[in-house]
Copies of this chain bind each other. A is one copy, B any other.
């Protein structure tokens, strides 16, 4: 039998405001924290790509067996943008988000979470 992906996944799109300069200017900490966060939902990391911008700013993309996660920092605004897309289920990624929030300590979070349906009705 051919593997079929679950019909509905989950997308988390989030801006975290009020993160300290120390945290945002520490790519090593950000990378380790994102990877640890992804362990909280037992995601499987298959690839990574990251970049340290000059004079500041850090981007990291993580390719998951379950789709992807990304972070982008804006030290000039003390903010960070986090995206997670998991094709595994419609409520996936909550532990990852919670861990990130605990470690990055933002003062304010704007979060949008929504289901991503990869089937059409005739595939139900």
Contacts and interface: CB of A to CB of B under 8 A. Distances in A.
A85 B11 CA distance: 13
Given A61-B63, A70-B70, 5 more contacts: A2-B56, A2-B76, A15-B116, A49-B49, A68-B70
Contacts of A9: 81
A74 B5 contact: yes
Interface of A: 2-5, 7, 9, 11, 13, 15, 17-18, 46-51, 53, 55-57, 59, 61, 63, 65, 67-68, 70, 72, 74, 76-77, 79, 81, 83, 85, 87, 108, 110, 112, 114, 116-120, 123
A3 B118 contact: no
B87 A5 contact: no
A44 B123 CA distance: 37
Contact of A79 (B18, B49, B119): B119
27 contacts: A2-B55, A2-B76, A3-B76, A5-B74, A5-B76, A7-B77, A11-B13, A13-B13, A13-B116, A47-B51, A47-B61, A50-B63, A51-B63, A53-B65, A59-B63, A61-B70, A67-B72, A68-B83, A70-B85, A72-B85, A72-B87, A74-B118, A77-B118, A79-B120, A81-B87, A81-B118, A112-B114
